[in-house]
Amino acid sequence: MVRKINRTSIEWCDYSFNPVTGCKNGCIYCYALEIYKRFGWSFEPQFHEERLNEPTKLQIPAKIFMGSVTDHYAPWIPIEWTKQCLTVAEANPRHLFFTLTKFPENLAKFQFPHNVWVGISIDRQSRVNGLKYLKQITAVRFVSFEPLLENVEVDLYGIDWIIIGGCTGRYRFTPPKKWVNSLIKKARRWGIAVFLKDNLGYPEVIQEWPEGPPCYHDEHDQPCSDYCPSTYQSCTTRDPDTCEIAQEIEREQLDPNEQSEPGERTLLAGC
């Protein structure tokens, strides 16, 4: 019997693909660990070879998160396990795969197919240094600021996409709007697409992708020459100096009551 690939509630993908399960990182907010504990399953790293053909059976092009319950680049995961998963991704070019890690120093050990987007998780300032490894990778590069546990100062130059989210479950935490606005402002400076998770409760829906169809936002109702995220509304440019939304964020940043102190954080950031 062929096992079906799992649908997922993660907003930025359609399915999760998990030939590798389990993790030893011990993040206090890990949703996967909570699920495995609830059902009495082992969370020790395991390889499920029988799952490798799941994307092949999915005929309609889809966005697939590879490794939603593990970290493929952690030192305790055998390199061969991850390489087999990447080989499956390469053999299924109709699908778009996402891979995410808290161990970016190990990314250079792998070659990534063109249909694999590579990301790192930054939940606090101490993980920002990992960007130097991500920027060395030839791929669409993204950063997941989820859960965003403290105000982060970061240089996003060279990044294609950012995701921002809060913490759900037992350790529910919604980051202050000023932390989120700070990251949006940094992304706008470099024309980086922004995807805000619903769990932020942000007053605007901002769910952009680094590539997509042309928009029709200029005064003649003609497509822009480059992809322009829908949240830029009437703008015909990605220039943050002329984008109305970027200017609004700029004004909020100037409000002394909305300023984040350096290193401002939640207690969860200590985990």
Q: Phi and psi at residue 253, in whole multiples of 5°?
A: -65, -25
Instruction: Round to whole Å and give the CA distance between 185 and 132.
Output: 21
Task: Please report the pLDDT score of residue 185 as a whole number.
Answer: 96
Which range of residues forms the domain containing residue 251? 122-255
Task: Please report the pLDDT score of residue 258 as a whole number.
Answer: 46
Do 79 and 19 share a structural domain? yes
Global pTM value: 0.78
Give per-10-residue mean pLDDT for the chain (271 aa). 75 95 84 82 92 95 95 97 98 96 98 97 96 96 96 96 89 90 96 95 93 41 36 36 48 46 51 44
- Cβ neighbours of 96 (radius 10 Å): 19
Query: Beta strand pairing status for 15-17 and 6-7?
Result: antiparallel
Task: Please report the pLDDT score of residue 26 as a whole number.
Answer: 78
Q: How many domains does the chain have?
A: 2
Task: Please report the pLDDT score of residue 20 as a whole number.
Answer: 97
Task: Please report the pLDDT score of residue 3 as a whole number.
Answer: 60
The residue behind tokens 């909305």 is 258
Residue 10 contacts residue 165 (beta carbons within 8 Å): no
Task: Please report the pLDDT score of residue 259 as a whole number.
Answer: 47
* Residue 146: inside a domain: yes
Residue 77 contacts residue 53 (beta carbons within 8 Å): no
Do 133 and 190 share a structural domain? yes
Concatenating the DSSP letter of every residue in 155-186 gives --TT--EEEE--B-GGG-B---HHHHHHHHHH
Do 61 and 145 share a structural domain? no
Closest among 64, 6, 25, 21 to 271, alpha carbons compared:
25
* Residue 262: inside a domain: no
* Residue 265: inside a domain: no
Do 86 and 26 share a structural domain? yes
Instruction: Round to whole Å and give the CA distance between 122 and 143.
Output: 7
Do 165 and 91 share a structural domain? no
Do 213 and 88 share a structural domain? no
Query: Beta strand pairing status for 20-21 and 46-47?
Result: antiparallel
- Cβ neighbours of 84 (radius 10 Å): 15
